[in-house]
Amino acid sequence: MPLSSHRRLAVSTTLVAALAAGLTPAAGAFAASPAAASPAASVRSAAAAVPAPDMEGVLAALNSAMANGAPGAMARYTGPGGVQSRTVGVQDRVSGAPMDIHARFRIGSVSKTFSSVVLLQLVDEGKLELDASVNDYLPGLLPDDRITVRHLLTHRSGLSDYTDAMFNDTVPGFEAVRNRVFSFQELLDLSLSEPRTTEPGVSYKYSNANFVVVGMLIEKLTGRPVSDAYERRIFKPLKLGKTSYVHPDTRIKGLHVRGYLHPDAAGDPLVDSTEQTVSWAQSAGAVISSPADLNTFTSALMRGRLLSPAMTEAMTTVTPTDTANTRFYGLGLRRYDLSCGTQVFGHTGTVQGFYTYTFATRDGRRALSAMANTSNHGAANTALGGTLEAAFCGKKPAASARSAAPIAPDLTSRPAERDLPERH
């Protein structure tokens, strides 16, 4: 048999084995580059090495979020074994409707990853450069020509976060902007009226103002609203039927979760914060989605379906955000290093009344989205993060095994990272 025939046979055998193992090739404009062919035994071995999700642990984390002030919570996991989900509590305190895994909700700062994908697609298309000055594309917008596009996406611009002052008093601050419609420029002006937090590129300092400017870049380079960019570039290609950007409409259409904001004063009644424009965030936090759509999005992103290999690599190249070296940030993307050594990529989200986590492994084969319908109560946010440990690390070893091989601290050993100022 000719050598080329041998090669064709080997490739065909490997493809059949991969399909039998439940793997599918990436689709879309930027499919991931195929890895070197490996024997079917290696595929089976890799699948066997993935721990089964600890859905009891996921449920315990959701119940802990409820015990810490959330009316309800839910999580959806996808992996080699299929889809598994858990729900607790209620999605509507008035009607008493139980939490529904198919319901939509406000995803807050998870929107930043959607915005980053759009901007990086524009980089792929040659319409801007990551290390060019923002002022090259929006002349005179920023007071410092040294602030680059990359600095925005990595939160290293030094632009002050205007939400610190806006929500210094949580409920009054929210009610003042609940129905208000801002322009991007008005939000940026709020940031520029305050001192900058760092010199460009020096250190990480989370700021919603960065992604306001990202939205301005998207609209300048496409000549269209950010809503159009999301729809054409992400929602439609991935068939995210429950994901939308409705700014400045205040409603969430269809089956949805109601969000509840904790006031600053302990014991004060929760505030239903579901209806709002989210104009104070826009491209930094105004997207609405569902657990299934978020899993699809993060998996597709990690599989290379939305960006070129070079841009996917750039997005997942991270630097630490804390001294413990377990939390990192790339280009609009967080990386968490879990106690079992697994690395997951995605984002957290906080918007009044909702906490969200959506993360996937780097190969995109496993993904988890979790939500609790409250905010301004950090203990609930920290508890919700426990869903990642349970889903991606599986059951923790028995006590005897732990004494022989100490385990690294898990994600809930320290408070959750904050996307908005909080008082509890």
Active site residues: 109
Length of the chain: 424
Tokens of 136: 């090259």
Run of H or E residues at 83: strand 82-89
- Determine what percent of the chain falls in helix, strand and coil, rounding each to the nearest 5: 40, 15, 45
Task: Report helix, strand or coil for 169.
Answer: coil
Where would I find the H helices in 97-225? 111-124, 134-137, 149-153, 163-166, 170-177, 184-192, 208-222
Helix axes 184-192, 208-222, angle to 10 degrees: 140
Question: Which stretches of 201-287 are assigned E, i.e. beta strand?
Answer: 260-261, 271-272
Looking at residue 404, its amino acid is A
Residue 34: is it exposed, middle or buried by C-beta count within 10 angstroms (0-12/13-18/19+)? exposed
